[in-house]
Amino acid sequence: MSAIPSIYTVAALYCFARFPDPQALAADLRARCADLGTCGTLILAGEGINGTVAGDAGAIMALIGHIRTLPGCTDADVKYSWADAAPFARMKVKVKAEIVTLGVGDLDPATQAGTHLDPADWNALIADPDTVVIDTRNAYEVAVGTFQGAIDPETRSFREFPDWFDAFAADLKAQGRSPKIAMFCTGGIRCEKSTALVKARGFADVYHLKGGILRYLEEMPEADSRWQGDCYVFDERVAVGHGLQAGDYVTCRDCGLPHLRDAAHDCPGDESGVWPHRG
C-alpha cells in the first residue's frame, strides 16, 4: 500500500474499445488499485473503460501505464489535474452495460463520433452564428457554468438526451435547417456517444470539443475564453475554473446538488437516482 500523498494527482480517463471479458479486467484492476493505494472509480463494459482516479504521482502513472496495455487502449484519453486532499473516499471498480449510459445500443463511438476540435478551433466554430452549440450535460452541471450561447437541454440524466435531441432535430427539419452542430461535455466521453447519435440521425457536420471542458479550461487563456462560470466535476472539488483551479462551490448534504459556498440554496430534497445524492 502506498503512503498517503500530500498532493494528489487526479486522472480522468476514457477509451472506447472492445473488451471480450470486462469482468476479468475489472478483477485485475481492483487488485492493482489496492496495491497502488489509489482512490476513485473505474467503470468497465464491453465497449471500454471510463473513470477518474487519484493518488500519488507514481501510483497514477503506473495505473495509467497499465490501462494503456488493455486491448485497444494505447491512445486512451487522459486528463490530469491536482488536489490538496483525497478527492474520493475509496476506490471502486465496476462492470456495467455501458461506460456512459445513453441507452442507444446500436452506436459505435469508436467509428461514428463527430469531428474532434482543439480549443482554438472550437472557439472559431462556436463564434459562427450559424453553428448550433449544445451542452450535453445535465441541468445541475449546466447551472454551474457553460459556453456562451450554448443550448441547455435541461436533462436530468444522460438517458434523456436521445429523446430531447429527436424532438430538437424534428424542429430543425421543420425549419428546413441542417446546421453545423457543436457539442461538449465535461471530459469528452458523453460527446463521443452523443455526436455518434446525432450523425446517426442524419446530421453531417457534427463536432465536439476534444478533451471536453476540462482540457479547454486547462489550455485556453482566460482572456480568450468563451466559457462562463465554473465546471462541475464529480469529486470533492465540486467545480473547477480556468487552470483547473478549484472553484467556490460546495455540495448540499441533503440533495447532493452543487451551490456556491455561503450562498442561499433552494434544496429540492434527495431525489435518489436522478440528481447527484448522498452515497
Tens digit of each residue's pLDDT (9 = 90 or more) over 7-20:
899 998 999 999 99
What pLDDT shows up at residue 277?
42
Give 227-272 as a DSSP string.
EEE-EE-SSTT-EE-GGG-B-SEEE-TTT--EEETTS--------T
Each residue's pLDDT tens digit in the chain (279 positions)?
556 777 899 998 999 999 999 999 999 999 999 999 999 999 999 999 999 999 999 999 999 999 999 999 999 989 888 888 898 999 999 999 999 999 987 788 878 899 999 999 999 999 999 999 999 999 999 999 999 999 999 999 999 999 999 999 999 999 999 999 999 999 899 999 999 999 999 999 999 999 999 999 999 999 999 999 999 998 778 899 999 888 888 888 778 888 888 777 778 765 544 455 433
Catalytic residue among 15, 73, 185, 252: 185
Categorise residue 159: left if φ over 0, alpha if ψ from -120 to 50, beta otherwise.
alpha
Distance of CA 92 to the CA centre of its chain: 18
What pLDDT shows up at residue 2?
58
User: In 43-80, which positions are buried (b, 16+ CB within 10 angstroms) versus exposed (e)?
Assistant: bbbebbbbbbbbbbeebbebbbeebeebeebeebbbbb
Are the C-beta atoms of 41 and 50 separated by less than 8 Å?
no
Are the C-beta atoms of 162 and 102 separated by less than 8 Å?
yes
What pLDDT shows up at residue 278?
35
Distance CA 15, CA 68 (A): 9
Q: What is the mean pLDDT of the chain?
A: 91
Q: Which long-range contacts (CB under 8 A, 24 or more apart) does 236-242 make?
A: 236/83, 236/85, 236/86, 236/87, 236/88, 237/83, 237/87, 239/144, 239/145, 240/81, 240/214, 241/217, 242/217
Q: Which residues contact 114 (CB under 8 A, 6 or more apart)?
A: 181, 183, 191, 195, 196, 198, 199, 206, 207, 208
Q: Which residues contact 157 (CB under 8 A, 6 or more apart)?
A: 101, 138, 274
Grid coordinates given for 238: 465540486
Q: What is the residue whose three cell numbers read 452506436?
A: 107
100-147 pLDDT, tens digit each: 999 987 788 878 899 999 999 999 999 999 999 999 999 999 999 999
Give 21-54 as a DSSP string.
-HHHHHHHHHHHHHHHT-EEEEEEETTEEEEEEE
What pLDDT shows up at residue 126?
97
185 noted as active-site residue: yes
